[in-house]
């Protein structure tokens, strides 16, 4: 069963690029472009896409009108009164629904710890201007590939200072040209040069915009920093701008790429300027504005860890939402909401699964557990041939180990194991030496104990016994 995918043109274009990339072209027939300020009847619901500002152009909130009432989902947002494209948040539609009555609001909690408001995307431009004005060599600006307005601003200042522009990074290039093709931004394509043309121009005439602001090791910036990029190597005269903040968890990798760039002698502007990057998410005053406009009966803070939605709850209480009308959800929770109540009704299982990146399939749990155990303590194989009439070893056991003892060619470990097995077989009861399965179990136990005594390790032990 296939479900249609509804979106406004730019998001649909960006999703379409991803579908192309992953060989899902055939599924694009289920795409349904929508327009803002129109109401679409979809199944039981009437849905309006409402324009809202964010670090991605053409973002939407949703007003979903159901039999029980209207639900507003903000999506990722900030309230930018001076966005680059002039398309401000459609506050009036939020006000319209607020006035009619909203059953439930779901709102972005990412920055719920941040007081005040998030600065406008346009404030970054001034910082870019002052850096571009001083740059003597190339300027290399790195940001998220989805932040087209940031890329656009960098290009705008590049043009102001007479630079040609090379966009390096497949996802960034696709997003930018999709936005140009769809008319979201106006740029003459003649200003762009290919990565292999960068070295044909004087350094002071080149602007490179690229990905890798999170220190991703496969990104163009990382490869430039580590001298692995085909066309661009960092020079001491380069002015690099990292127009982003490390997403929690990425601090280490950002620091690493910074170290490489600085070791190459380049000038790097990162967190030196407070306005080199602004967030795409609402701070507390913006969260309050939406709460006050929408005046929902029930409130579900979304998009954030428990501590973020919990902080957003405090803000909502300050804005008059009764505490009992707010639910903090965990992943997998199912919520039921109607005029009388909102409550958790069920939790479905969620969590991480391992996907094999070669074949794009889930890896079975027991395979993961086996590999974990092998990684922790290695493995020992014991292949033993028993003469079951004579009740003795036919030949020396074969001992093979992985990930347990250093230098696998060293015979000491094998000789020790042979001794342990030999002694066990000599002393074993005759009937045990006629039952391969039972003997395997016994040998496993004996070897296991011996290795634990010697090495404080429990490797996977695999005896294979042939009775002959």
User: Minimum distance from CB of 186 to its own copies (Å)?
Assistant: 37
Task: Work out which of 30, 40, 306, 354 binds its own copies, going by CB under 8 A.
Answer: 306
CA neighbor of 54 nearest in space, from 86, 89, 92, 8: 89
Tell whether residue 268 is a contact of its own copies (CB under 8 A).
Answer: yes
User: Minimum distance from CB of 332 to its own copies (Å)?
Assistant: 15
Interatomic CA distance for residues 73 and 63, integer angstroms: 7
Task: Work out which of 92, 130, 217, 259 binds its own copies, going by CB under 8 A.
Answer: 259
Task: Work out which of 73, 443, 460, 461 binds its own copies, going by CB under 8 A.
Answer: 460
Comparison of 146 and 315: residue with beta carbon closer to its own copies:
315
Comparison of 180 and 383: residue with beta carbon closer to its own copies:
383
User: Which residues are CB-contacts of 31 (< 8 A; sequence separation ≥ 6)?
Assistant: 4, 5, 7, 12, 15, 16
Interatomic CA distance for residues 456 and 448, integer angstroms: 10
Task: Work out which of 86, 162, 249, 351 binds its own copies, going by CB under 8 A.
Answer: 249
For 63, 104, 296, 298, 342, the CA distances from 339, given in Å and listed in that order, are: 17, 9, 11, 9, 8
Tell whether residue 318 is a contact of its own copies (CB under 8 A).
Answer: no
Comparison of 138 and 313: residue with beta carbon closer to its own copies:
313
Interatomic CA distance for residues 405 and 413, integer angstroms: 8
Inter-axis angle of helices 9-21 and 170-181, nearest 10: 140
CA neighbor of 291 nearest in space, from 280, 299, 283: 299
Applying the rule CB under 8 A, the residues between 219 and 248 that interact with its own copies are: 248
CA neighbor of 424 nearest in space, from 386, 371, 377: 386
Tell whether residue 272 is a contact of its own copies (CB under 8 A).
Answer: yes
Per DSSP, 49 falls in state E
Tell whether residue 341 is a contact of its own copies (CB under 8 A).
Answer: no
User: Minimum distance from CB of 310 to its own copies (Å)?
Assistant: 5
Torsion of CA 147, 148, 154, 160, to 10 degrees: -160
Tell whether residue 279 is a contact of its own copies (CB under 8 A).
Answer: no
Tell whether residue 215 is a contact of its own copies (CB under 8 A).
Answer: no
Comparison of 30 and 402: residue with beta carbon closer to its own copies:
402
Residue 296, both tokens: 């929902």
Interatomic CA distance for residues 393 and 467, integer angstroms: 10
Tell whether residue 405 is a contact of its own copies (CB under 8 A).
Answer: yes
Task: Work out which of 217, 255, 350, 389 binds its own copies, going by CB under 8 A.
Answer: 255
Comparison of 110 and 175: residue with beta carbon closer to its own copies:
110
Per DSSP, 247 falls in state P
Interatomic CA distance for residues 396 and 99, integer angstroms: 87
Interatomic CA distance for residues 426 and 296, integer angstroms: 81
Q: How many chain residues bind its own copies (CB under 8 A)?
A: 53
Part of the chain binding its own copies (CB under 8 A), chosen from 40-48, 137-145, 197-205, 264-272: 264-272
Tell whether residue 403 is a contact of its own copies (CB under 8 A).
Answer: yes
Contact track, its own copies, 357-376, x by CB under 8 A: -xx----x-xxx-xxxxxxx
Task: Work out which of 241, 258, 327, 447 binds its own copies, going by CB under 8 A.
Answer: 258
Residue 422, both tokens: 């030999």
For residues 378 and 458, is the Cβ–Cβ distance under 8 A?
A: no
Task: Work out which of 51, 398, 444, 450 binds its own copies, going by CB under 8 A.
Answer: 398
User: Minimum distance from CB of 55 to its own copies (Å)?
Assistant: 20
Q: What are phi and psi of 380, to 5 degrees?
A: -130, 125
Interatomic CA distance for residues 384 and 399, integer angstroms: 9
Instruction: Summarize as ranges the residues that interact with its own copies (CB under 8 A).
Output: 113, 248-249, 251-252, 255, 258-259, 262-263, 268, 270-272, 305-307, 310, 356, 358-359, 364, 366-368, 370-376, 378-379, 381, 383, 385, 398, 400, 402-408, 455-457, 460, 462, 464, 466
């Amino acid at each position: 069963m296939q479900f249609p995918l509804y979106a406004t043109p730019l998001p649909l274009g960006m999703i379409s690029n991803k579908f192309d990339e992953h060989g899902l072209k055939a599924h694009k027939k289920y795409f349904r472009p929508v327009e803002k300020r129109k109401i679409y009847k979809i199944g039981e619901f009437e849905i309006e896409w409402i324009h809202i500002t964010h670090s991605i152009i053409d973002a939407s909130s949703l007003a979903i009108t159901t039999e029980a009432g209207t639900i507003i989902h903000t999506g990722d947002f900030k309230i930018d009164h001076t966005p680059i494209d002039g398309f401000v948040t459609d506050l009036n539609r939020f006000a319209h629904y607020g006035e009619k009555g909203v059953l439930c609001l779901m709102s972005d909690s990412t920055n719920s710890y941040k007081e005040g408001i998030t600065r406008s995307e346009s404030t970054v431009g001034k910082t870019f201007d002052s850096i571009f004005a001083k740059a003597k060599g190339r300027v290399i600006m790195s940001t998220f590939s989805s932040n087209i307005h940031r890329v656009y601003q960098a290009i705008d200042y590049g043009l102001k200072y007479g630079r040609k522009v090379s966009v390096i990074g497949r996802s960034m290039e696709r997003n930018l040209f999709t936005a140009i093709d769809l008319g979201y931004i106006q740029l003459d394509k003649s200003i762009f040069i290919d990565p292999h043309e960068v070295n044909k121009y004087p350094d002071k005439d080149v602007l490179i915009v690229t990905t890798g602001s999170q220190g991703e090791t496969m990104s163009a910036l990382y490869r430039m920093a580590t001298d692995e990029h085909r066309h661009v190597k960092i020079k001491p005269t380069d002015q690099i701008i990292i127009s982003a903040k490390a997403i929690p968890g990425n601090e280490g990798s950002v620091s690493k790429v910074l170290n490489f760039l600085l070791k190459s002698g380049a000038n790097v502007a990162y967190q030196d300027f407070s306005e080199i990057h602004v967030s795409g998410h609402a701070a507390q005053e913006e969260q309050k504005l939406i709460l006050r406009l929408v005046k929902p009966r029930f409130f579900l803070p979304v998009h954030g860890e428990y501590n973020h939605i919990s902080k957003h709850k405090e803000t909502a209480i300050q804005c008059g939402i009764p505490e009992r009308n707010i639910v903090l959800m965990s992943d997998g929770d199912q919520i039921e909401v109607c005029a009388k109540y909102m409550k958790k009704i069920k939790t479905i299982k969620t969590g991480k699964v391992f996907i094999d990146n070669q074949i794009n399939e889930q890896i079975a749990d027991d395979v993961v557990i086996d590999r974990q155990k092998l990684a922790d303590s290695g493995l020992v194989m014991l292949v033993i041939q028993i003469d079951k009439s004579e009740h003795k070893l036919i030949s020396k056991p074969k001992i093979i180990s992985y990930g347990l003892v250093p230098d696998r060619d060293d015979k000491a470990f094998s000789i020790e194991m042979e001794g342990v097995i030999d002694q066990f077989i000599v002393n074993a009861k005759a009937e045990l030496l006629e039952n391969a399965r039972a003997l395997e179990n016994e040998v496993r136990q004996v070897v296991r104990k011996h290795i634990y005594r010697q090495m404080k390790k429990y490797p996977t032990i695999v005896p294979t016994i042939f009775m002959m």
